[in-house]
Amino acid sequence: MEIAALVSGGVDSSVVVHRLKEMGHDPVIYYIKIGMEDKDGYIDCPSEEDIEIVSYVAKKYGCRMEIVSLHEEYWDSVVKYTIDSVKRGLTPNPDMMCNKLIKFGVFEQKWGHQFDRIATGHYATTTEEGGLTWLSTAKDSVKDQTYFLGQISYLQVSRLMFPIGDLLKSEVRAIAAEQKLPSAQRKDSQGICFLGKVNYNEFIERYLGRQEGLIVELETGNILGKHQGFWFHTIGQRKGLGLSGGPWFVIKKDVNRNIVYVSKGYDTRHQYGDQINLQGFEFITKDVWGDFTDEKEITFKIRHTPDFTRGRISRIGDLYRIQSEMPVQGIAAGQFGVVYDSESRLCLGSGMII
């Protein structure tokens, strides 16, 4: 097979190349430049070290390497989506959009379509079942990244390869060390994919500015302090509020009045919920339920965590409603609820939390 390997310079994607060569493939390595860039030419996503490592890997395994830029497309889709969501008081998920629209979207249209498969370093697997390809969870439950892949389509998942999905992170690092790859001890990247080393609040301030508003205790209406704009705060946030006598958590935001409502840590009435409404729900492989009027047993995630939560899902018009078995914290509008089968094996699809 002709395979394009998306390699970032991290340990995971570096080991992907090693495993592909072990399988007898000769992948073409692609390094995608997707740093943050706007009309002022502002870029702060250092790529020199990454490219150096990817070049080393390509040379070591005798692979052709191409550096491609998707700056403009990235800005028009992922970055604008993020700014717009924050401005509306929502909690965006740019990493999911990056996978859907850039890595497996624009890249596929421009270069990936020339190949039989696209290989990445995601901790995920695919399963062939019923003549169809399903996105399925990784061996390493702590590192499993299927949540971030919950928005991809069937066409995308049917062309993807996840060569390290059957490995634990410790096994990946061991392979990298054994092969003397420069990324063997490199720390995993944290945070939003396009920010690089840019502070999130600095990024938000650059595009939305500051506007002083009140921090109000939800239960009493007491004014506890001030903030510099509701867009700097997310539902469930604990740190960075500058309040004493806590812990305090962000419970909700009044976008029109620029008010952030908080509640004490021991008050779980508003922090937790057991009902999650999803709009625009899309199945990855196929609609496994059709028009149903009962409830289906599922597991789900509302953020990237190692743990799956059990629940039941029902359909109310165009909405899918999850009834969780246990209260979950920080249900944030704009984030995605990703739904799995009851065994937490197959990733079925996702919808946006409203």
Percent of the chain with pLDDT over 90: 79
Question: Does 296 lie in the same domain as 167?
Answer: no
The answer to whether position 239 is within a domain reads yes
| pLDDT tens-digit readout, 254-266 | 999 999 999 986 5
What CATH number has the domain bearing residue 251? 2.30.30.280
Mean pLDDT of 185-205: 70
Per the structure block, which two tokens stand in for 99?
């996978």
Element (H, E) at 29: strand 28-33
Catalytic pick from 45, 63, 98, 347? 98
HEC readout, 53-100: HHHHHHHHHCCCEEEEECHHHHHHHHHHHHHHHHHCCCCCCHHHHHHH
Note whether residue 146 is domain-resident.
no
Active site residue 193: yes
Residues 19 and 87 placed together within one structural domain of the fold: yes
Report the chain's mean pLDDT, rounded to a whole number: 92
CATH label of the domain that carries residue 49: 3.40.50.620
Residues 222 and 294 in one domain: no
How many structural domains does the chain have? 3
Which pLDDT band holds residue 93 (cuts at 50, 70, 90)? Answer: very high
Q: Are residues 74 and 171 in the same domain?
A: yes
Q: Does 256 share its domain with 276?
A: no
Give the residue numbers spanning the domain of 228: 210-266
Q: How far apart are CA 154 and CA 159, in angstroms?
A: 9
Q: Within a domain: residue 28? A: yes
Calpha distance 215→184 (Å, rounded): 45
Tens digits of residue pLDDT in 5-59 = 999 989 999 999 999 999 999 999 999 988 655 555 545 455 788 999 999 999 9
Measured N-to-C along each axis, helices 48-61 and 11-22 cross at an angle, to the nearest 10 degrees, of: 10
Cβ neighbors of 347 (< 8 A, separation 6 or more) are 124, 134, 135, 136, 137, 146, 149, 150, 284, 338, 339, 340
The answer on 172 and 47 residing in a single domain is: yes
Given a contact cutoff of 8 angstroms between Cβ atoms, the answer to whether 65 and 29 are in contact is: yes
Angle at 22 between CA 19 and CA 27, to 5 degrees: 70
Are 167 and 76 in a shared domain?
A: yes
Whether the full predicted model's pTM is greater than 0.75, yes or no, is yes
Residue 347's pLDDT band (boundaries 50, 70, 90)? very high
Q: Are 32 and 111 in contact (CB under 8 A)?
A: no
For residue 231, tell me if it sits in a domain.
yes
The CB density around residue 346, as the number of other CB atoms within 10 Å, is: 20
- State mean pLDDT over 175-193: 83
Instruction: Say if 157 falls within a structural domain.
Output: no
Place of tokens 């080991």: 15
> Does residue 234 sit in the same domain as residue 291?
no
User: pLDDT digit string (tens) for 308-342?
Assistant: 999 999 999 999 999 999 999 889 999 999 999 99
Average pLDDT score over residue span 229-256: 92
Dihedral sign of CA atoms 45, 49, 51, 53 in order:
negative
The reply to whether 329 and 230 lie within a common domain is no
Task: Tell me, yes or no, whether 170 and 246 share the same domain.
Answer: no
The set of residues, in sequence order, having a beta carbon less than 8 Å from that of 84 and lying 6+ positions away, is none
- pLDDT tops 60 at residue 273: yes
In this prediction, residue 289 has a pLDDT band, given cuts at 50, 70 and 90, of: very high
How high is the pLDDT of residue 189?
67
> Could you tell me if 249 and 265 are in contact, meaning their C-beta atoms sit under 8 angstroms apart?
yes
Q: Considering the domain boundaries, does residue 130 fall inside one?
A: no
Is residue 63 annotated as part of the catalytic site, yes or no?
no
